[in-house]
A and B are shown apart, each in its own frame.
Chain A
Amino acid sequence: MVFRTAIQPTLSAANDVTGTRSQDDWYAESIAHYGSALARLARGYEAQPDRRKDLLQAVHIAIWDSFAIFDGRCSLRTWVYRVAHITATKHIVSDRKMRWREMYTLDDVPEPEDPEDAVGALAHSDTLKRLLALIDRLKPLDRQIILLYLEDFSAEGIGEVVGLSPENIATKIHRIKKLLARMIHDRRAP
């Protein structure tokens, strides 16, 4: 099965930090490559459509703002995702309702309840609903990791974004795979 992979920046950041590219240029390139992924990221952090729109706007502003000091020491993709995840986490923290909700780690998250009947054909929309229910209950760090995993990041790539070692990430990915497998298996069971 072939998946869309996140497009790597076509321009070397190191060649462009001399001031020849403006914040606007970097921002435009980022959105061209990762705009859709950022919208999905916002969906992973905020279920309510109006607030999701606000979150997405905040993410875009933070990304544009961050290019004032982007020096190319990491890839454009890593930079964009770091800024986006930090902004989204701030969104959770500043939301009083979300603060008081119980959130779990990957190790103790309960199986999300089936949003519809347990019998039926496996459809993408069903999988997506269950995925969202699972993501919605995770604490920020684990939420970042599963969202990056779903975007096809490698363990090294996820580690660069969230600041954990690849070994640590590999352990968490193992747990994510188990959770996803159980989720789909349960969905398919008659």
Chain B
Amino acid sequence: MTEREQSDISKLAWQSQPIDAPTISLAFIHHHATKLNAQFRREMLVLYGAVILGIVVALVALLKRPPGSSTAMTYVTSLGVVLAIAGFIYVAVQARRRGGQVAIGPEESVAAGLSAYRTELQRRRDYYLGTWRWSIGPLLPSVAVFLIGGIWFDPMPQSGLRFGLLIIFVVIFSLLGALDHRRKAKAFQEELDAVDTLTRR
């Protein structure tokens, strides 16, 4: 038996194997296609929601000054709010730009195969590794103004306690966000390692 005939036997065995494939309807495809990337879209929606909420709260704080606050504290509040709004707008712009880069189009995957998949994983990993920098960092000047200005100029009693609680809230919120994103970045790195292992010649 020649090598070609032996290959042909293998091809015949392969192509005539019994198939136990389920029937997949178009309705099923339509339903599941919309679920792709749903988690990422949800995360983006939560981020946009938080940004809008932050801007609304900041605007309310700017327009509705607490009674009895000093002139100095009014300046502190105004500066803090303006910095907060600028920070929130920056975060929204960055989220839109970076989120758009992460959402890879199918044409890239199809054109470049595994290397495109690798790039997709790298982008997602880098997105999660860098999120805390562009989402929390821009808000820190505003937080600093509120904290330092509040401690120095707020004439209200127990201001130390209020600002202490604010500090704890900011620290916990930032840490939780950073840890969650580090975990996600690590998962993408593990997938990248797997791609490297599986494709190494």
Which chain A residues have a beta carbon within 8 Å of chain B's beta carbons? 1, 3-4, 24, 27-28, 31, 35-36, 38-40, 42-43, 49, 53, 56-57, 60-62, 64-66, 68-69, 79, 82-83, 85-86, 89-90, 92-94, 99, 103, 105, 122, 124-125, 127-128, 131, 139-141, 149-152, 162-163, 176-178, 180-181, 183-185
Which chain B residues have a beta carbon within 8 Å of chain A's beta carbons? 1, 3-17, 19-22, 24, 26, 28-30, 32-33, 36, 105-107, 109-110, 112-114, 117, 190-191, 194-195, 197-201
Shortest distance from the beta carbon of B123 to any chain A beta carbon, whole Å: 15
Q: Is B29's CB under 8 angstroms from A1's CB?
A: no
Q: Which residues of B contact A177 (CB under 8 A)?
A: 3-4, 6-7
Q: Which residues of A contact B5 (CB under 8 A)?
A: 1
In the complex, A66 Cα to B14 Cα: how many Å? Answer: 27
The verdict on A93 contacting B110 (CB below 8 Å), with A65-B33, A127-B9, A150-B10 known, is no
Q: Is B198's CB under 8 angstroms from A181's CB?
A: no
Top 7 closest pairs, chain A to chain B, by CB: A39-B21, A127-B13, A150-B14, A99-B194, A181-B6, A124-B13, A180-B10
Interface SS of chain A: helix, strand, loop or mixed? helix
The verdict on A82 contacting B198 (CB below 8 Å), with A3-B12, A40-B14, A57-B28 known, is no
Shortest distance from the beta carbon of A109 to any chain B beta carbon, whole Å: 13
Q: Which residues of A contact B20 (CB under 8 A)?
A: 39, 49
Give 10 new A-B contacts, CB below 8 A, not counting A39-B20, A69-B105, A180-B7: A1-B5, A28-B26, A66-B106, A69-B106, A86-B113, A90-B117, A93-B191, A99-B197, A139-B199, A184-B6
In the complex, A131 Cα to B32 Cα: how many Å? Answer: 33
Q: Is B26's CB under 8 angstroms from A27's CB?
A: yes
In the complex, A56 Cα to B30 Cα: how many Å? Answer: 15
23 CB < 8 A contacts A-B: A1-B12, A31-B24, A36-B19, A39-B20, A43-B19, A53-B21, A61-B36, A65-B36, A66-B110, A69-B105, A69-B107, A89-B114, A89-B117, A94-B191, A127-B10, A128-B13, A149-B11, A152-B15, A178-B3, A181-B3, A183-B10, A184-B6, A184-B9
